[in-house]
Structures are given as C-alpha cells and as structure tokens.
A and B are shown apart, each in its own frame.
Chain A
Amino acid sequence: MNNLGVIFKRELGSYFATPLAYIFIVIFLVLSALFTFDLGGFYTAGQADLNAFFSFHSWLYLFLVPALAMRLWAEERKSGTIELLMTLPVSRVDMVLGKFLAAWVFVGIALLLTFPIVITVNYLGNPDNGAIFTGYIGSWLLAGGYLAIGSCMSAATKNQVIAFILSVVVCFIFIAAGIPMVLDFFSTWAPQWLVDAIASFSFQVRFSALSHGVLELRDLLYFLSLMAGWLFATAIVIDLKKAD
C-alpha cells in the first residue's frame, strides 16, 4: 500500500513536469466553457442549474481523456522504463492503481478548476448546489470510466497514437449504447431485456441521472465496477504484453 502512494506521487508529478498538464487543463476549460455557453445555451435556457455544463461532458471526455490515458503504459513500454518499474518490488495492483489514480486525480483537478461556473450560476440565480455537487461527482466518475478503458488500451500497445484511437473507439461504444438511435435499432428486433441491458451499459444513461443530481447506489456501483473491471484487464494485458 505504501508503494501505491509512491507511484501515485511520481505519476502525478510527471504530468506537471511537462507542458502536458497545462495544455490539457487549458483545452478542457476552454472547451467546457464553449460547450456550456454556446452549444448548451446556458444563458438562454434561463435556468439556474448546470445541465448545460454537464450534458456535454461525455463527449468532451471522449477525446480529452484518451489523450491523457494513452501515455500511461505505452510510454513506459516505448522508453523501456517498464522493465525498471516491473523489476522494482512493486505489486501489480500498486502499479496499475497508482497510475490510474494519479490520472484520475489529475482530471479531478481540471474539473475543480471549472469552479467559476458554479460561482456564476450562484450569482445569477438560486441553483440546487447539492445537485451541482452530485453532477461533479458523476462527471468525475465518468472520467474514471474513460480513464480505466484508456489505461487498458495503453497497456496493449507501445504506440500512443494507436492507444488513443483504440480508447476513443471503445469509449464511443460505451456512449453509443445509450443513444436513442442505437437503441431504436436494437428495439426493432431484439427482445426488450437485451435493449435494457445495452442501455444499462451506457455511460450516457448512467451519467445523465447523476448530472441531474440523482445519486443512486447502482449508478455509483456501475462506474466503480466498470473501473475495477478495466483496471483488472489492464493488469492482465501488461503481464501478457510487457516484453513485446
């Protein structure tokens, strides 16, 4: 457990050692503002909530989070440091979790830096701050799901670009599972339980509940088990492919 903290610290520090962290944060903030105020119609909606802000997060993360996750393992494999890391007395769990948590906390920091929008909405009206808080938690969980997928894809290849593309595709499948268009396609021929099952796997469906301020245990469990599953897969993929 001690080594988990050491790995976590090194990883988090490494984001800020290069311009990567700052570029990521700036792009994230600019895009989320653009989506909220322009596409989301934050002002014209005339409502004191952050639905316009959160509703685009699943799409925003689709490209930004894989860009962050792609380096997690691919870079270690490319530079050969994976051999150093894996011959140090560090357990797989500490490695995989330490790296993941560092990336997740980093996204959390970026997310917290959107605080001016909370101030804005409180200045303009009387929003339900509990719902906003739940929305933030939901958004962070969503990012965690994307990151866990990205971590696994990054472990599968030396090439960061391939890792990025694979993560985007897999994450997209998880979003697409909840789009009405996709569900309509299935509902024409598939039994209802299958359509429900597909929809229940969707980021979109789970996240929209959270972003509207509804924190349910099953949604929380969904995201946590999704992360656990993909991180477990990461550990397996690393063991299989580490020396390639």
Chain B
Amino acid sequence: MISINSLTKRFGEHVAVDNLSFDVKPGEVLGFLGPNGAGKSTTMKMLTGFLTPDGGSASVCGFDVQSQILQAQQQMGYLPEGAPCYGDMRVKGFLEFIAAIRGFSGAEKHKRVARAVEQVELQSVLGQRIETLSKGFKRRVGLAQAILHDPQVLILDEPTDGLDPNQKHHVRHLIQQLAEGSNKIVVISTHILEEVSAVCSRAVIIGHGRLLADGTPEELEARSRYHQAVTLTLSQSVDAVDTQALQQLPGVLAVESQRDGQQLTVLAKPGEVIFPAVGQLAREQQWQVAELSVERGRLDDVFRGLTSGEAA
C-alpha cells in the first residue's frame, strides 16, 4: 500500500510536484505517465527517500517516508532513472553487495543473488565489470538489484527507456511476471504509452506536478475521441464513397479521411456504438472494404490532450 497525500516539492521557484495525492493498492501495476518534467521522477524520489518533500506526506506499507524512511526502504525495490550502478564493480560483486545491505548473508545471500540473476538473465556477464556492459545489461543489473529482496513495492523509473524492442519486451514480460498473482505493488514511470496498455492495471497521468487523470488504461482510452471509432480501409478511392451517408448515420460524430485517400475513420458520439451501422451501410452501398475495425481509443491521443491542455 502506497499512500500519497498533498505531496509537494519545489526547486527554487519551480514547483515540480504540486499537491499530488493518490493511493496505490496491493496487486496494482501502476503506470505513472506524464511528459518530461511533469514530476514523475521527483515523486518517485520522494517515495524512495532520496528527496525530502516540501509539503504533504507519503507512506509505503504504513511507513512514513520522512520519519520511518529506513523501514520504508526495506519494503521497496527501486530502479532509479538510468539505472546507476557502481561501474568499477563486477556484476556478481555488486549484487552480493546489495544482498548484504538487504541483510542477507551466507547461503541465503547466494540463493538470492542466483535467483535475481536468473530472473533477469545475467548469467553470461556475472564476472564482467558493470562499466563494460551494454545499456540493456546495465538496466538488467539495475532491475536485479531492485528485485533481489523480493520487495512488496517495486518502483521503476523508466525501466525500458533506451532499450531495443527485444529488451523492452523482455523487461515488460519480467514486470508482468513479478506482478502476476501476487499482492505486490509495481509503479512504473514511462512516457511510452503502449507500455501502459501492455503491463499496467492502472494509469495515472500527471502534468506540471498535478494529477490529470487516474483510471484503468481502458477507462482512459474511452476518453479518447477515437473510442468506438470505426476505421474503414478501402481498396478503392475514398472519393467513390458517399461520406454524406456515413455522416447521417445515427451516433456518428464526424468522418475523417486519412492515408492516401484509402482510409476513413468514422468517429462516434460519446457512448454510442456505431460499428454495426457502418458495416451495414458499407454492404448496402457495396463499397470495396479491405478492412473494417473498431478502435478502443488512442491512449496517446488522450495523453496529448490532457498534457497539452487541449480537449481529447
């Protein structure tokens, strides 16, 4: 359980986190979204005890992050942005150091290190100095360090930033594995929206340090103007199609044409389902439809709308 109450942090005149409040319940994988400079990292740094809040409070598993920070830190695993590790240490030595700090010794220490190494697949580089590793491996060392003590709360600051698609997939898979069927909390900050749809059970969007939206990825997608929109991909030109007839269907808000005049997007009014009507019209009018699909809504659209102040 994480609870954040009116958390505020200022850097000089600049308010990085502004009166932010939300809770995270056990079992949730929270996607923490926002543009660069929105205050995601600052919030995470306050949760993990690196920064001291200027106002408000936060607690992790019941431990206040200001007065009981050591206990809170014992419950948490944290991957800071960029996954800083001691470059002059070897992977195995580094993980053993972390294990010792976490209070493990002897056989238990080796078991913990071996398990974390296996989870993030570091076997091949155990004897290498961390500074000689590629970005992907460094990130994995950072992850191994964070999950080593099997924490109740895992806080990952941009865990997939700068990784190649395979590595991203692997990290996401790992996060899913960790969260699956457990009562753990995982908080991931990111600005990659597909990641949120892929792994998160809940998304919180912040901008200028303030909470902008909070819901499941599906709920947020429903706020998109593309929610329940129907996309028609034609094998003929859009000009041959009577867009007026589409416009006049019940529940249709607007029609947009895209991509070389071969694709139409029919937007639905909020709460309306237009897919059957559009499909029927296409059959009646004998359009040459190559593909017909319903959109769930575009998260990036919602995100842009919320964080740049335009209507979504």
Chain A residues in the interface with B (C-beta under 8 A): 2-3, 6-7, 9-10, 13-14, 17-18, 79-81, 83-84, 86-91, 239, 242-243
Let me know if B74 and A89 touch, CB within 8 A. Answer: yes
Residues of A within 8 A of B103 (CB): 2
Interface residues of B in 101-118 (CB under 8 A from A): 101-103
Task: Write 24 A-B pairs (CB below 8 A) sorted by A numbering.
Answer: A2-B103, A6-B101, A7-B101, A9-B97, A10-B89, A10-B97, A14-B89, A17-B88, A18-B88, A80-B80, A80-B82, A81-B85, A81-B86, A83-B45, A83-B80, A84-B80, A86-B50, A87-B78, A88-B73, A88-B98, A89-B74, A90-B70, A90-B101, A239-B52
Chain B residues in the interface with A (C-beta under 8 A): 45, 48-52, 70-71, 73-74, 76, 78, 80, 82, 84-89, 93, 97-98, 100-103, 145
Complex formed: what's the CA distance from A106 to B253 in Å?
75
Let me know if A17 and B89 touch, CB within 8 A. Answer: yes
Residues of B within 8 A of A90 (CB): 70, 101
Give 7 A-B pairs besides A13-B89, A89-B73, A242-B50 with Cβ atoms closer than 8 angstroms: A14-B86, A81-B84, A84-B84, A87-B48, A87-B80, A89-B71, A90-B70
Let me know if A89 and B50 touch, CB within 8 A. Answer: no
Interface residue SS majority, chain A? helix
With A80-B82, A87-B50 as contacts: A14 and B88 at CB distance below 8 Å? yes
Residues of A within 8 A of B86 (CB): 10, 14, 79, 81
Let me know if A243 and B51 touch, CB within 8 A. Answer: yes
Q: How far is the CB of B83 from chain A (nearest CB, A)?
A: 9
For the A-B complex, the count of residue pairs with Cβ-Cβ distances under 8 Å equals: 64
Residues of A within 8 A of B93 (CB): 13
The 3 A-B pairs of least Cβ separation, nearest first, read: A80-B84, A89-B73, A87-B48
CB-nearest residue of chain A to B76: A87
Let me know if A89 and B70 touch, CB within 8 A. Answer: yes
Interface centre among B52, B71, B84, B102 (most CB of A within 10 A): B84
Q: How far is the CB of A206 from chain B (nearest CB, A)?
A: 36
Q: How far is the CB of A70 from chain B (nearest CB, A)?
A: 16
Complex formed: what's the CA distance from A79 to B102 in Å?
22
Contact of B101 among A13, A14, A89 (CB under 8 A): A89
Contact of B102 among A18, A84, A89, A239 (CB under 8 A): A89
Let me know if B101 and A88 touch, CB within 8 A. Answer: yes
Let me know if B88 and A91 touch, CB within 8 A. Answer: no
Let me know if B50 and A91 touch, CB within 8 A. Answer: no
Complex formed: what's the CA distance from A222 to B67 in Å?
34
Contact of A243 among B50, B82, B84, B87 (CB under 8 A): B50
Let me know if A87 and B49 touch, CB within 8 A. Answer: yes
Complex formed: what's the CA distance from A22 to B82 in Å?
31
CB-nearest residue of chain B to A5: B100
Residues of A within 8 A of B70 (CB): 89-91
Let me know if A79 and B84 touch, CB within 8 A. Answer: yes
CB-nearest residue of chain A to B149: A89
Residues of B within 8 A of A18 (CB): 88
Q: How far is the CB of A2 from chain B (nearest CB, A)?
A: 7
Q: How far is the CB of B116 from chain A (nearest CB, A)?
A: 15
CB-nearest residue of chain A to B44: A87
Interface centre among B73, B82, B101 (most CB of A within 10 A): B101
Complex formed: what's the CA distance from A167 to B100 in Å?
32
Interface centre among B50, B76, B78, B145 (most CB of A within 10 A): B50
Complex formed: what's the CA distance from A173 to B87 in Å?
35
Complex formed: what's the CA distance from A90 to B50 in Å?
12
CB-nearest residue of chain A to B155: A87
Residues of B within 8 A of A13 (CB): 89, 93
